[in-house]
Structure 1
């Protein structure tokens, strides 16, 4: 790999990391400093209350608090609010636990995928990288205006707004939309 290509990847990684909302990034960095888990970091974030509620309703809290490592693309409360009216309430009902679990595990990739390695994969893939989720589906990552964008199986997209929130059992990348497995 040429120096110019390495410099471009480093610049893109820095750009992705720099788009953070300051309060959110500070909150997550504090959780990361404590060596907490992905679940603990999400629980400490005022912008991820809906995600935490959904993770608990799906029975995934213990799994996401375990050894991992996991990469989680974590939608904010505002991202969940973009879903059609009543969707979240329906998903949180006990009889819809399977569907909720499918959606949540669609946001999780096994292993640690930090911004720099994701951008490198996108570059090596001719402008896109396909990530296999724990749910079994795939998310397609691309770059748009220096930001990582994920395209889901339903044709929707989400943008990583905060990257590389390192936890003891993986990495969180905050997104502005809920990804749907199709």
Structure 2
């Protein structure tokens, strides 16, 4: 079995296994914001999206691909970082970080693996924020590398929503 077929099969299995834990997975029923809001795993992300005043944008037509950090991913940041970013005076910085997790268009797990293979082992993704994330494979896992060389592992894939796709990540990525 080729690596891309293996990853696609693994991604499909992860989606099936994770579907009950994530509202809105499977057939698109709602938008990205509604799905994240319905999941207890994304309370911090939803709070941040609201504080950055990005709710209407991310609930809009899209399509978007969102690499969504979990509550545990935000908890990995230095103590006080999230609280500081949520302050109104830091809204622009928070919006920059959040839009660094978003790519215009729909990029499925299988398409991302194809891009990585076509790129000789890595793929550059231009984020809505304007900077790049690098996607690589580590065995059967997709790893994102930010401009600060921080890495995040994609833990769940292809959570289809009416306005795009959510891929869950275990670490917050940060623009340079």
What is the TM-score with the length of structure 2 in the denominator?
Answer: 0.94
Change (3 A) 1:28 1:39: same
Q: 94, 98, 105: which one pairs with 2:92?
A: 98
Q: Which ranges of structure 1 fall in alignment gaps of 5 or more residues?
A: none
Shift of 1:11: 1.4
CA shift digits 1:115-147 (9 cap, x unpaired): 000000000000000000000000000000200
Residue aligned with 2:22, SS = helix
**Which residue in 2 is equivalent to 1:135?**
129
CA RMSD of aligned residues (A): 1.7
Once residues 95 and 24 of structure 2 are traced to their aligned partners in structure 1, the CA distance between those partners, rounded to angstroms, is 28
Change (3 A) 1:51 1:91: same
Does residue 169 in structure 1 map to residue 163 in structure 2? yes
Does residue 10 in structure 1 map to residue 13 in structure 2? no
Does residue 122 in structure 1 map to residue 113 in structure 2? no
Change (3 A) 1:57 1:21: farther
CA shift digits 1:56-101 (9 cap, x unpaired): 0000000000000000000000000000000000000000000000
Q: Which ranges of structure 2 fall in alignment gaps of 5 or more residues?
A: none
2:19·2:26 contact (CA, 8 Å) conserved in 1?
Answer: no
Change (3 A) 1:64 1:92: same
**Which residue in 1 is equivalent to 2:63?**
69
Which stretches of structure 1, 4 residues or longer, exceed 3 Å deviation after superposition?
16-22, 29-34
Change (3 A) 1:156 1:17: farther
How many residues end up aligned between the 2 structures?
Answer: 176
What is the TM-score with the length of structure 1 in the denominator?
Answer: 0.91
Once residues 21 and 154 of structure 1 are traced to their aligned partners in structure 2, the CA distance between those partners, rounded to angstroms, is 33
Change (3 A) 1:114 1:175: same
CA shift digits 1:30-81 (9 cap, x unpaired): 4553610000010011100000000000000000000000000000000000
1:131·1:139 contact (CA, 8 Å) conserved in 2?
Answer: yes
**Which residue in 1 is equivalent to 2:144?**
150
